[in-house]
Structure 1
């Protein structure tokens, strides 16, 4: 890492995103919340004032530095303001979804030790379920916004905790990923090398606010450079996105690959005005080469992919400075120290072409502080001077990364370890296949086989044998699926990621 890649010792992430913007461009639109009935706009001056007002109110509750503020809100402007207010006050923001069940919300509150729960408009939270925690509803947040603001952002250290996000763990419960204020500084390499992001840009993001992809790429990154962010709060009709690009003059559009595919299928791109759009960006799952080709042919706009994780965000990408190579998410962004380590043994980087664990050096400023109260899981991902989160990959001679799946997703076939990504890649090229997921399937109590779970194109006929023959012509025998199951849709998370562990369940239900 170069010296200028390290943040200042004293660094507040909210100040970094708002204070200078409020001073230099107070009347510029910072946030547009577009809805089916009305659109809300906030300038940088208004956002800065509201964030400092909420921050003052939170500190007025007597909260100690580092106290957790759990946010349970939908896609609304106050979500953004409360999130940054927690950081501004030296507290820790805990983003969450309003769709959590009572049990899921209770686990997060207890595990994180939340002191405050902020509930969004229309969300009813039973105070008796909070165990004495402070509840702030939409009316309370409105009052805080109007109250006297903090004169300045709290003076925090770059290594002070700022955000606690929950992601899947190796157990049945999600694990908390604790990030420092410096994580926002650590995002800087992606601004130029993936997003191509600058002050004049308008970023339209298709995600929900409880997702780190949205909070980061959709809000934090644009504000860090003085750009405008546009978010949508309305029915998730894929055809709406080209209209939103045109209406708001979006220069950048961010989504998961599956949404790009849905836009191609359901939107009238031929009549859409995409003249403002410079390019699209995508993350969250692998970008299939056929989808990349279809999007660029239909729109004439580049599509840049990135690979990341909750523990560090995106750190490998294509973009304006890295030519696209279909099938690869790109190269490590300049300034990142990335290596491929052996799955077992000493953590010595492997040469180009060899597959192993994808690792990031622990000096990376965007890397998490650690897993909250999960020392055993934290120990599993620390390999000497490296963090290795479980992704399998290889780097080619040109530095491009080729993703080979998750170490814990690997299937065991006839004694061989097989990546589901490799099998999915072969099947995705079949003209009848719209989407595919691959996972192990228990056919008897003691026998598990590789199975392909396929969504067909609208005019295709279900022919399992034809798909198996297609695989046999392209894959080693031990890599080929033994079963093909047809599904109307693949099970996905709310943000579009395929849930491989639910494929067999979905096939049984179907």
Structure 2
């Protein structure tokens, strides 16, 4: 038996195809078809507001027309730096309507991180929230180091009137000089359609940033074909039907939120519920109000929802299709949460470079647990997908033996933006070397048992130690720094730093934590710092992270 034989197909439900015939060539084709077929159906729920497919289409036309008027051309990049707001969806569709590419940027990123991504992507336009513009984006653009020449701003209060104080207390709409207000653009739009772009499946739809082997973020080129294929994978794998609501728990800038929420809702013609950001009590109320059927989220989000004050099993009765990815699930936690939600939480697995899922547990099937490691299976490869497990020599290892996952399929990106060397390294021949280590059992189930590199996985967010270390090294007291992941009951892993100090220097660990917190997204900064006299090294002077990790595990 070889991996090319796809032994996992026996795990598919009866009648399920091994391969999909993809219905749409591009992500924009999916959206246009939904608008044509269901113009008055709900697409986005945002607190007390509902936007139909036609209304989102008109809003995206307005923004696309303004982009084009500002000189935005085919292949140009619009950076979208917002939370889980309607503005995100309007922004990415507008970029496509204008013939361009959306750049999805984490709204938790600080100025240093935003600057890098704007420069690297060459974005000429930016859509952001008004508070993010004032606090982060305006100082970045003022440096003159980016190519951004047009800025669009939106408020989290736009498109709704509830103004939930749990999220928006004290917040007000701001009209900012030097920017274009998104709502004003939409309100003043004359209805003229934007240009009709010529897009193909191989064209890049979105740049999503991921960390790489050097710690330098890389722009994964998720193509229209990638998004169209995996949106259909989600829909057909889960059996989602038109009108089945989707709960937007995962961040939309993340590949899971982009594909598992936005694209899947477009394709299934299902309403997507957004709540600006994930707050368990607010999300619980949204579930009660909108009664969604499907969501995919990190296990920590399910755990937080289960512990929300006042939550009862009845609140979750509508959520009958549940998937979790981004971080390992302990079998005991899966069992406990099933009692709360009344539905089994299925594993799903993928990377930014696989445009979300490459593996999933078939709906209604319980994932097996490896008796040796106690690991819960991440599932089986999805439609059209071949996953090999290879050794250091690149050859397939026997079934049951541990090696690196190498993935081939229509969801695999074509490469990294302006990084041909990194593309050649990670995607030789178009197959993705994932860097994740595990094995396939005799029944075709896959298990992730380790990571090949030192990446830290905190609540589904990937943190590269080198980036944290680089920030620590900018502190005047720090001589050497090493960052590792340590077990954390809630986050799965969390970030810990070990530092040695310059002679005569003094600093408290809490000061170093705060120093990093001010410069990094919330999921990246170290939750603890330990000051040591010397860090362990090889004879050549290389710091040995593994020796620091061992006592913590």
Q: TM-score range by the shorter chain?
A: 0.7 to 0.9
Q: Within 5 Å, which residues of 2 pair with 1:216-255?
A: 216-233=259-276, 236-255=278-297
Residues 267, 169 of structure 1: alpha-carbon distance in 2 compared, 3 angstrom cutoff: same
Which residue does the alignment assign to 2:319?
277
Query: Which of 141, 165, 170 is the matching residue for 2:182?
Result: 141
Once the two structures are superposed, the pairs formed by residues 180-191 of structure 1 within 5 Å of their partners are 180-188=223-231, 190-191=233-234
Tell me which residue corresponds to 2:402.
355
TM-aligned CA deviation for residue 207 of structure 1: 2.4
Q: Tell me the secondary structure at the aligned position of residue 315 of structure 1.
A: strand
Question: Could you tell me how far apart the structure 2 residues matched to 1:506 and 1:200 are?
Answer: 49
Match of 2:385 among 336, 353, 375: 336
TM alignment of 1:107-122, pairs within 5 A: 107-122=116-131
Q: Distance in 2 between matches of 1:373 and 1:152?
A: 27
In structure 1, which of residues 405, 409, 412 is the aligned counterpart of residue 450 of structure 2?
405
The question of 1:168 aligning with 2:192 is answered no
Quick one: structure 1 residues 3 and 204, their matched pair in 2 at CA, closer, same or farther if it must change by over 3 Å?
closer
Residue 128 of structure 1 deviates from its aligned partner by 2.4
In structure 1, what is the equivalent of residue 475 of structure 2?
none
Deviation at 1:4, TM superposition (A): 7.2
Change (3 A) 1:55 1:495: same
RMSD, aligned CA? 3.7
Q: Equivalent residue for 1:488?
A: none
* Match in the other structure for 1:475: none
Change (3 A) 1:5 1:46: same
Whole-Å Cα distance in 2 between the matches of residues 187 and 495 of structure 1?
28
Q: 1:175 to 1:452 in 2, by over 3 A?
A: closer
Question: SS of 1:273's equivalent?
Answer: helix
CA shift, 1:349, in A, is 2.8
- Once residues 127 and 490 of structure 2 are traced to their aligned partners in structure 1, the CA distance between those partners, rounded to angstroms, is 43
Per-residue deviation at 1:296? 0.8
Q: Is the 2:26–2:227 contact (alpha carbons within 8 Å) kept by the matching residues of 1?
A: no
Within-5 A mapping of 1:485-500: none
Match of 1:471 in 2: none
Report how many aligned residue pairs link the two structures: 436
Q: Which residue of structure 2 lines up, in the alignment, with residue 13 of structure 1?
A: 27
How far is 1:216 from its partner? 1.4
Q: Deviation of residue 137 (structure 1)?
A: 2.5
Q: Which residue of 1 aligns with 2:69?
A: 60
The answer on whether the counterparts of 2:98 and 2:195 sit within 8 Å (CA) in structure 1 is no
2:440 is equivalent to residue 387 of structure 1: no
CA contact (8 A) 1:316 1:332 kept: yes
Q: 1:20 to 1:96 in 2, by over 3 A?
A: same
Mapped partners of 1:372, 1:132: distance in 2: 16
CA distance in 2, matches of 1:247, 1:143: 29
For normalisation by structure 2, the TM-score amounts to 0.70
Give 1:13 shift.
1.3
Q: Residues 4-153 of structure 1: matches in 2 within 5 Å?
A: 5=20, 11-16=25-30, 18-34=31-47, 39-122=48-131, 123-124=133-134, 125-126=137-138, 127-130=141-144, 131=146, 133-138=148-153, 139-145=180-186, 146-150=189-193, 153=196
1:387–1:394 Cα change, 3 Å: same
Alpha-carbon distance in 1 for matches of 2:484, 2:181? 53
Separation (CA, whole Å) in 1 of partners of 2:348 and 2:490: 27
1:396 aligns with 2:438: no
Report how far residue 201 of structure 1 moved. Answer: 0.8
| Residue number among 341, 344, 348 corresponding to 1:302 in the alignment | 344
Counterpart CA distance in 2 for 1:182 and 1:299 is 34
How far has the Cα of 1:450 moved from its partner? 10
Look up the match of 1:484. Answer: none
Q: Is the 8 A contact 2:20 2:383 kept in 1?
A: no
Query: Does the Cα contact within 8 Å between 2:414 and 2:430 map onto a contact in 1?
Result: no
Tell me the distance in 2 between the aligned counterparts of 1:316 and 1:337.
10
- The one-character-per-residue Cα deviations of 1:393-440 (angstroms, maximum 9, x if unpaired) are 111111111102211139xxxxxxxxx99xx9xxxxxxxxxxxx9x9x
For residues 338 and 522 of structure 2, the distance between their equivalents in structure 1, rounded to whole angstroms, comes to 21
Structure 2 Cα separation of the partners of residues 60 and 281 of structure 1:
42
**Cα deviation code 1:430-465 (max 9, x no counterpart):** xxxxxxx9x9xxxxx99x9999545599xxxxxxxx
> Which residues of structure 2 form unaligned runs of 5+?
5-16, 154-179, 370-375, 466-478, 492-515, 533-553
CA distance in 2 between partners of 1:306 and 1:496 (Å): 25
* Secondary structure class of the residue paired with 1:142: helix
**Aligned residue runs from structure 1 range 257-272, under 5 A:** 257-270=299-312, 272=314
SS in 1 for 2:265: helix
Contact 2:97–2:194 (Cα < 8 Å) also in 1: no
| 2:358 corresponding residue in structure 1 | 315
In the alignment, the residues of structure 2 paired with residue 80 and residue 97 of structure 1 have an alpha-carbon distance, to the nearest angstrom, of 14
**Separation in structure 2 between the aligned mates of residue 370 and residue 201 of structure 1, nearest angstrom:** 34
| 3-state SS of paired residue (1:284) | coil
